[in-house]
Structure 1
Amino acid sequence: MATNPSKLDIFDSQISSNDRTEYQQRVDQFNSTLNEYWTFEVVPNVFKQSLSNTDETTFDYLKDNFGILKGWDEIIDHLKELNSKASSHETYKLLFLSRHGQGYHNLGHSKYGNEDWDDHWSKLNGDGEIVWGPDPLLTELGQNQAKENNKFWKSQLINNSKKDENLIKPTRFFASPLSRSIDTLIGTWDDIVKIEEIKPLIQENLRETIGIHTCDKRSPKSIISKKYEPKGFIIEPGFEEEDIYFKTDYRESVAEHALRIYKQFQYLFNEVKHDDIISLTTHSGTIKAQLMALGHRSFAVGTGGIVPVFVKATKITN
């Protein structure tokens, strides 16, 4: 059910040297305005996805226990030990970066190919057969991918620790404001956690690359609120009613997207101090930006896919 990354996924996941240079320039400029900030790096030899010799085109996280190189008991013990010994300017977290299941825009993208999609079809709401904008829903496959992740998480929680079946269960949850990500979070975690108790936070900064593509325009706040707040979701403060960021004539660059994610990580490591294991349900472009901001190698993720990252954050004072 889970899909390996398609050729389009692999193409879209690549980060050029120019993207990295522009991103670093933007980060340096942003950091120069702050009194202090966090920098990020990946703790090595924890997950196969961070290794340069892991083939992203064939890797299957479902068959390979998230790509763990050690047992979960050892990984979590290491996480706890590192945090117990860390100075006030150092902290560690385990992040599960989840991509939404297949949406109707993914069908459209596959149907028309990358060039025609970017040049024409992505700017429309559909083609008379498929509706992909704004804020498209999950397809039946996408819904089933979330359900498959639900089964996978259950198997991981029960079968991969000698100590505690809740060992790797995230204690904080975040989601993009686009419905395909929120619905994937619900489908993935249904009956494992109680959504009304964990209160996932919907954050604008976690959305997909912004602009031009109608599939990446979010719904009004009132619609998101009506649909998801009764389930237990919280919308972050300052969230505007209309999508003020979406432009029909400009699409965010990779570096701009990554800087937006870098800012979200500043929030995460400043405000979420007592949660070491965190779930973020977003998009392929957002995961690309997250991996870039964390110093991780680029890694293509199919619809419904998950990439775990063991992160070291260091606080720098200007």
Structure 2
Amino acid sequence: MSIPDEFDAVACSLEADTKQKYTALLTDFEKSLESYWKFETVDGMFKQSDDSTDEYKFDYLKEDFGRLLSWEETFAKLDELNSNAPANECYKVFFLARHGQGYHNLANSTYGNKEWYRKWSELNGDGKIVWGPDPELTELGVSQARDNAHVWAEQVKKGVKLPTVWFSSPFRRSADTLINTWESFVDISTIKPLIMEDFRETIGVHTCDKRSPRSVIAAKYEHLGFVIEDGFEEEDVYWKPDYRETIEEHGIRTNRAFQHIFNNCEDEVVSITSHSGAIRAQLLVLNHRPFSIGTGGMIPVVVKGTKYEKGE
């Protein structure tokens, strides 16, 4: 894992009116559903939710993932919240992981943000390395995922509970990060991580954010135990070379993914492996402060979901 840098800062930033625009879209989205969950963060559990925590100096690997309580106290609090919650409330811990360094991250840092966004992000490579579509992890990216595995092992000794359900973006850099992080703890073929389109990176323009065909993803990951969600198209029908998804649009599809988790998973401890832009959208949906995550990084969040019926 790396401490966030200037490139990560851009990836996690929000415009002044982003929340307002997201709220407007969310109102229409919720009207389309017969029932829906509203999400918020439970503060006081992890340092990352505290505005006083400096995201550019904070290293969760060295600070017990940022927990403010012992793990025993953390999960006792979670159990207490769920035990005392009314029927329409539910609490979960989300471990939101960013993939390790990919070749597009290497290119971004090589050419700088200005040139990356002006030219290189719309190309597949520079004649030396290839970063689009659907780039692989670099050697550093693999080692960052394995660093996470070592720290998880340390936290297990201190009482952390492992996730019991796993989700992944459909990109190789996310699925490979999941494997290298978790294969020493669990049997991937048994936990059956679910690949979901809605957990992919911001869609459009950047070639690194165009996914592989379904058949390619299936050939690489299904025999390992990964499950691809129903309705997953063969070709990437969402990516367009001339339109990049807005943050608030990204937030709506992220909200849709969280609706799926709260509607279909009784699990209290959830692992989601995705991307910097995806985590930006996830924190927006959870009304958590923006928090920059370096490649291979992770942020835990205690999430409160409240269910409403249409018209409430």
Question: How far off is 1:17 after superposition?
Answer: 2.1
Question: How far off is 1:281 after superposition?
Answer: 0.2
- The partner residue of 1:263 within 248, 256, 262 is 256
TM-score normalized with structure 2 length: 0.98
Pairs within 5 Å for 1:191-206: 191-206=184-199
Matched, 1:237 2:236: no
**Cα distance in 2, alignment partners of residues 120 and 88 from structure 1:** 52
Matched, 1:295 2:287: yes
- The residue type paired with residue 93 of structure 1 is K
* Corresponding residue of 1:286: 278
* Corresponding residue of 2:105: 106
Runs (4 or more) in structure 1 with deviation over 2 Å come to none
* Corresponding residue of 2:30: 31
- The residue type paired with residue 92 of structure 1 is Y
**Cα distance in 1, alignment partners of residues 207 and 169 from structure 2:** 16
* Corresponding residue of 1:84: 83
Question: How far off is 1:14 after superposition?
Answer: 1.1
- Among all aligned residue pairs of Structure 1 and Structure 2, give the percentage whose two residues are the same amino acid: 52
Compute the RMSD of aligned alpha carbons: 0.8
Provide the secondary structure at the position in 2 that maps to 1:101.
coil
**Cα distance in 1, alignment partners of residues 33 and 137 from structure 2:** 39
- The residue type paired with residue 88 of structure 1 is A
Matched, 1:223 2:223: no
Provide the secondary structure at the position in 1 that maps to 2:115.
helix
* Corresponding residue of 1:128: 127
**Cα distance in 2, alignment partners of residues 115 and 246 from structure 1:** 22
Pairs within 5 Å for 1:140-159: 140-158=139-157
**Cα distance in 2, alignment partners of residues 205 and 12 from structure 1:** 18
Provide the secondary structure at the position in 1 that maps to 2:93.
strand
- The residue type paired with residue 275 of structure 1 is D
Provide the secondary structure at the position in 2 that maps to 1:156.
helix
**Cα distance in 1, alignment partners of residues 11 and 238 from structure 2:** 22
Cα distance per residue 1:31-82 (max 9 Å; x no partner): 1222221111111100000000000001000000000000000010111121
- The residue type paired with residue 281 of structure 1 is T
- The residue type paired with residue 279 of structure 2 is I
- The partner residue of 1:250 within 211, 222, 243 is 243
Question: How far off is 1:225 after superposition?
Answer: 0.3
* Corresponding residue of 2:10: 11
**Cα distance in 1, alignment partners of residues 130 and 172 from structure 2:** 14
- The residue type paired with residue 257 of structure 1 is H
* Corresponding residue of 2:180: 187
* Corresponding residue of 2:302: 310
**Cα distance in 2, alignment partners of residues 85 and 101 from structure 1:** 38
Cα distance per residue 1:152-199 (max 9 Å; x no partner): 1111001x12xxxxx510000000000000000000001200000000
